[in-house]
């Protein structure tokens, strides 16, 4: 399963924890400015995790709009593993080993 994480300068142990639940392909956009995205999300994504406490508001809007148009599920969480894990568990996204 592939995931795009938007927001946060550093992910710390989040990639390692995602790997434990079956998410192995992880791409990261820092989200400080809209410059990094230039209007496009990477094509290959099964899930988007938006770290709302570390993201530019305009970028969050763009990501939400693009995810909706492509039908990619999006999770809004704080930049902590416990917040991300709880949101994933609550969303009941298939193919994730809980």
Token look-up 């820092």 returns: 30
Indicate whether 82 pLDDT > 70. yes
Q: How far apart are CA 98 and CA 88, in angstroms?
A: 9
Q: How far apart are CA 6 and CA 32, in angstroms?
A: 9
Output the pLDDT for position 77.
93
Output the pLDDT for position 39.
54
Output the pLDDT for position 36.
56
Contact assessment for residue 47 and residue 92, using Cβ atoms and an 8 Å cutoff: no
| 98 domain-assigned | no
The enclosing domain of 65 has a CATH number of 3.40.50.10700
Domain count, the chain: 1
Better-predicted residue by pLDDT, 66 or 39: 66
pTM of the model: 0.85
Q: How far apart are CA 3 and CA 52, in angstroms?
A: 16
Residue 89: strand, helix, or coil: helix
Output the pLDDT for position 8.
84
| 74 domain-assigned | yes
Domain holding 48, by residue range, is: 2-91
C-alpha distance from residue 29 to each of 11, 14, 89, 91, 98 (Å): 10, 14, 23, 22, 25
Write the pLDDT tens digit of every residue in 9-65.
889 999 999 999 988 899 988 866 555 555 567 777 889 999 988 787 888 888 899
């Amino acid at each position: 399963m592939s995931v795009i994480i938007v927001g946060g300068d550093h992910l710390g142990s989040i990639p390692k924890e995602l790997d434990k639940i079956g998410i192995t392909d992880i791409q990261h956009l820092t989200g400080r400015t809209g410059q990094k995205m230039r209007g496009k999300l990477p094509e290959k994504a099964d899930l988007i995790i938006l770290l709302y406490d570390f993201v530019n508001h305009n970028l969050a809007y763009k990501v939400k709009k693009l995810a909706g148009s492509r039908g990619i599920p999006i999770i809004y969480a704080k930049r902590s593993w416990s917040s991300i894990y709880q949101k994933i568990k609550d969303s009941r996204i298939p193919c994730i080993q809980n």
